[in-house]
Amino acid sequence: MYKFVMPEVIFGSGSIYQAGECCKRLGARHVLVVTDRGVMDAGWTDPVLESCRKAGLAATLFHEVSVNPTDVEAAACAETYKESGCDAIIAVGGGSAIDSGKAAAALVANGGHIRDYEGVDRILSPLPPLVMVPTTAGSGSEVSQFSVIVDSVRQKKMTIVSKSLVPDIAVIDPDVLATKSARLTATTGLDVITHAIESFVSIAATPMTDVQAKNALALAARFLRPSVASKYNKEAKEKMAMASLQAGLAFSNAILGAAHAMSHTIGGRFPFLHGDINAVLLPHVMEFNLIACPEKFREVALLMGENVTRLSDREAGEKAIQSVKKLAVDIGAPLTLAEMGFHASAIPEISEIALTDACMITNPRDISAAEVAALLTRALA
């Protein structure tokens, strides 16, 4: 028995101009537009505001969102929503803006502190209309039931899981990817690959999620390099946007694995890019998980374009790991935690906390704190 949840999806070039109209259809009158500085500077907030104006909606802008959004920012965002008398939220940006929008929505409908909703199904009242406009082709948050927010007191990323966090409409416009830097394209692209692989090997994977995960992986493996290579490769951008969407649908329903569990924990303590951490951890986690489902890793290798004929599942799996590593090298992603500024001293604590992350539950191989620590040590340099 399984279930597949997803929002309405509008996909295509120029769809960003639909954002306002989407909100209006959901009954909105005054929209809170949640975004960050970078997105504003790139000029993607304007078409959203413009679409709101055209739809006859009032709009209030909230842009104090950081790379790893915190509970404080979410509370401020909810406060702005209430003060301005908003009745819907559009989030424009990467995972941080979208997760902030979701957290704020949870707060305005349920009150309290976002910490109260950490875990699974803790949200009790329905959220206001949520329209998500992703600008990074990575997080998949625009279709997922997750919101990841940093607890500024505990310095930990809280994973909030609820069907109510699945947005109402995801507006995916590949054109917005054109302004992304190569660095950002690379790191978010690696996030897509991590999403695809982890959800594919997840013990909660279903035929429905497998379709999405496999498609996402094949697309990303093929188009990430050209997408990083050129801002103007429209086809590559569109494929990456689709890969991100499908990977999002896959992991939202099949959940993730150890790489994300650890990545969430590190992200709570260090200001690293989520995609970078994933990229470094993924090959090590794949090695660790290989024995759990070698046939699936064989498929991963295949999807990544490796030739696995006459190779055993295990050998094929190892090829998949190599392929991931090669991709990281090719697009200039960091290869070790050390080079990002991670200290070995944090390993014991990170290991303990990572074990409690929701994503750890669906990891195909059972894992202990010591094993997490060993993986982190290996990823360090």
Partner 1 sequence: MNRPEMIHLLTGVQSSKLNYYTELKKTIGELQKKNRQLEIMNTIMHSFNVNMSIQDMLKQTQETLQSVYKIDRLSLAMWEDGALKMADVYPEKASFLRKGTVLSSENSLYARVFSSGQDLLHSVQKGDDFFESEAFQALGFQSVWLFPLSSRGMITGVLGLATREIFSFSEEDRSFFDHLSGQFAVCIENARLYHEVLLSESRWASTFRAVPDSILVTDLDGTILTRNDSAAQSWPFEQTICTFLKPDRFHEAVQTELPCFEEVSIQNKVYECAYYPMLEDGELKGMIVYLKNITEKQFMQAQIIHSGQLAAIGEMAAGVAHELNNPLTAILGNAQLLLRLATNETKPLLEDIEECGKRCRTIIRSLLAFSRQEPSSFHPCSLNDAIYEALRLTGRQMEKQRIQLLIELNEQLPLVNGNLQQLSQIAVNLFINAKDACSEMQGEKRVWVKTEADQHFVYLHVQDNGCGIDADKLDEIFHPFFTTKSAHNGTGLGLSVSIGIAESHGGTLTVKSQPQKGSTFTLALPVLERTE
Q: Which stretch binds partner 1 (CB under 8 A): 2-10, 93-101, 187-195, 316-324?
A: 2-10
The answer to whether the CB of 331 falls within 8 A of the CB of 186 is: yes
Q: In angstroms, rounded to a whole number, what is the distance separating the alpha carbons of residues 1 and 3?
A: 7
Question: x-or-dash pattern for partner 1, window 268-307, by CB under 8 A?
Answer: ----------------------------------------
Sequential DSSP letters for 23-52? HHHTT-SEEEEE--HHHHHHT-HHHHHHHH
Residue bearing tokens 């950490």: 118
Q: Which stretch binds partner 1 (CB under 8 A): 54-62, 122-130, 242-250, 286-294?
A: 122-130
Q: Please state, as a whole number, how many other Cβ atoms lie within 10 Å of the Cβ of residue 64.
A: 15
Nearest to 356 by CA among 120, 31, 20, 104: 120
Minimum distance, C-beta of residue 164 to partner 1, in the bound complex (Å): 5
Nearest to 165 by CA among 212, 107, 206: 107
Q: Does 254 bind partner 1 (CB under 8 A)?
A: yes
Nearest to 296 by CA among 381, 375, 190, 217: 217
First to last CA, the chain: 42
Q: Does 253 bind partner 1 (CB under 8 A)?
A: yes
Strand order in the sheet with 146-151: 119-120, 156-161, 146-151
Minimum distance, C-beta of residue 128 to partner 1, in the bound complex (Å): 9
Which of residues 58, 67, 120, 355 is near partner 1 by CB under 8 A? 120
Cβ proximity to partner 1: between 124 and 370 the closer is 124
Q: Which stretch binds partner 1 (CB under 8 A): 90-98, 218-226, 240-248, 354-362?
A: 354-362
Count of residues in contact with partner 1, rule CB under 8 A: 26
Minimum distance, C-beta of residue 209 to partner 1, in the bound complex (Å): 9
Q: In angstroms, rounded to a whole number, what is the distance separating the alpha carbons of residues 268 and 350?
A: 10
Q: Does 147 bind partner 1 (CB under 8 A)?
A: no
Q: In angstroms, rounded to a whole number, what is the distance separating the alpha carbons of residues 133 and 176?
A: 9
Residue bearing tokens 């954002």: 19
Cβ proximity to partner 1: between 2 and 332 the closer is 2
Q: Does 103 bind partner 1 (CB under 8 A)?
A: no
Q: Which stretch binds partner 1 (CB under 8 A): 124-132, 257-265, 284-292, 331-339?
A: 124-132
Q: Give Rg (Cα) of the chain.
A: 19
Minimum distance, C-beta of residue 163 to partner 1, in the bound complex (Å): 4
How many angstroms separate the Cα of 115 from the Cα of each of 73, 139, 154, 357?
13, 21, 10, 14
Minimum distance, C-beta of residue 122 to partner 1, in the bound complex (Å): 11
Cβ proximity to partner 1: between 103 and 328 the closer is 103
Q: Does 114 bind partner 1 (CB under 8 A)?
A: no
Structure tokens at 346: 């944090």
The answer to whether the CB of 295 falls within 8 A of the CB of 313 is: yes
Q: Does 121 bind partner 1 (CB under 8 A)?
A: yes
Q: Does 124 bind partner 1 (CB under 8 A)?
A: yes
Instruction: Please report the sign of the dihedral spanned by the C-alpha atoms of residue 195, residue 267, residue 352, residue 380.
Output: positive
Q: Name which of residues 187 to 226 contact partner 1 (CB under 8 A).
A: 203-204, 206
Q: Does 309 bind partner 1 (CB under 8 A)?
A: no
Q: Does 88 bind partner 1 (CB under 8 A)?
A: no
Q: Which stretches of the chain bind partner 1, using CB under 8 A? A: 1-3, 5, 120-121, 123-127, 145, 161-164, 166, 203-204, 206, 253-255, 358, 361-362
